[in-house]
Each structure stands twice: as C-alpha cells, then as structure tokens.
Amino acid sequence: MTGGADRVAVVLSGGMDSTTAVAEYASRGHYLVCVTVDYGQRHVREVRAAHEVAAHYGAEHVVVDLSGLGRELTGSALTDREVDVPEGHYAEPSMRATVVPNRNAVLANVAVSIAMSRGASVLALGMHAGDHFIYPDCRPEFVEALANAVRVGNEGFAPPAVEAPFLRWTKARIAARGAELGAPLGLTWSCYRGGEVHCGVCGTCYERREAFRDANVPDPTRYRDSTTEFVAP
C-alpha cells in the first residue's frame, strides 16, 4: 500500500454532488483518488464527465468496469432499457423505478478496496438529503452501517473512515458550495437518460434545475426542456 493521512478517495459519479465533494477535499489540500464505476448504467455519459472532473483537479482516476453486473440488473430504469426513465419531481413515488438494487453498497465497497490499496485515510461519498426520499442506500442509517462494516471487515488493516459531508444538505446548498469552491459544475452530468444534452424533466435533471435556481447560482447546463415545472409531492 502507498499513501498517507492526506490521501482521500472519493466516489466520483460525474454528477454535481460527488464533484462538489472532490472540490471540498481538494480545497483542504488532500491528494485525491477518484473512483468511478461503470455498472452498465444507461447514462454512462457520466463516466466521461467524471474523467473530465478528475482531470480538472489533476486527481488520480480509477474507473472500474462492472458493466457485466448491470446487464443482470433488470427492472431498474438505469440499467434496463425496457424500463422508461420517469419524468417529474424527484420525490415522486414514480422515481422508485430508478433504484438500482444495492447500488451504493456495491460502489462504496469497491471504492473501499481501492482506497485501502492507495493508503487513503478517508473514503468520501456524495449523497445528500434530497436522495433520502427514494433511495434507502443514501440515508444516514446506511452510511453508519457501511462505516461500521468497513471498520469491522478490515480491522487491523487501517481501513478508511467513511465520510458523507453532504448527507444532511439540500441539493441547493451543494450547488452553492460547489460554486463557492469554483467546482467545474459545467462539466458534470446528471440526466438519467444519457445522450449529449440533459433532458431537463427526468427526476435528477429537475432536481439539478431546482438546485441552481434555489441557490441563486447560474446554471451552466443546457437542457432540452428548461421550462416545465413539477409540483413537489
């Protein structure tokens, strides 16, 4: 193993939240190891965004290919093209279609292994309070259980501390913090439909639009639909 106490591994999806997490730890002077997982997501465009964000910070970037796993995860709009990506507010029950079974447990544990191989003292995750409506693996209870499992499962081998600095933040607060830190939010990707332009109306696009608006931060994103409004449930 190589590394030291100043080394932080960040699970970097290529979205706003994980990019702001990279910016947060970069602002503290840490050496960064960014870990991105291709799990066969239909919005694999985010992997390219992650590469661009990591390059912006001069960070080590590890891309793990789990695309074969994604082919087996039928029934989720993110891994099964037979399932439509729902439109609407991100807190609507219909967004349950975008849940990928056990996704964050898989991604985080892959990143734990890489963090340990690099001697990182911290593994950082970018989930936030807005995710709590639909995704059980973005809630405080999950992060606490993960942190305990990492400690117990790697006892005696200097496991990283698990941190989720935005766990109780709103997306708007993350947008504001990202702008404050000069994070390259224009490089980030959110849209679950993939392509080259954000659709603007899937749950994660709408959450992105809402976050920039509520934070009173200029939105650098181009959307196919930037006007449709959804009422929060």
Question: Tens digits of per-residue pLDDT, 131-181?
Answer: 888 999 999 999 999 999 999 999 999 999 999 999 999 999 999 999 999
Q: Please, how many CA atoms are within 13 Å of residue 192, restricted to the half-sphere of its CB?
A: 26
Stretch 61-65: mean pLDDT, rounded?
98
Contact 143, 31 (CB under 8 A): no
CB atoms within 10 A of CB 183: 25
Question: Residue 134: helix, strand or coil by DSSP?
Answer: coil
pTM recorded for the entire structure: 0.95
| Distance, CA of 170 to CA of 152 (rounded, Å) | 31
Q: What is the pLDDT of residues 178-194, one digit of tens each?
A: 999 999 999 999 999 99
Across residues 5-14, what is the average pLDDT? 92
- Predicted confidence (pLDDT) at residue 3 exceeds the cutoff of 80: no
From CA 135, how far away is CA 146, in angstroms rounded? 15
Strands (DSSP E) found in the chain: 7-11, 31-38, 60-65, 122-124, 161-163
Superfamily of domain 7-215: HUPs (3.40.50.620)
Residue 226, token pair as written in the block: 């930037």
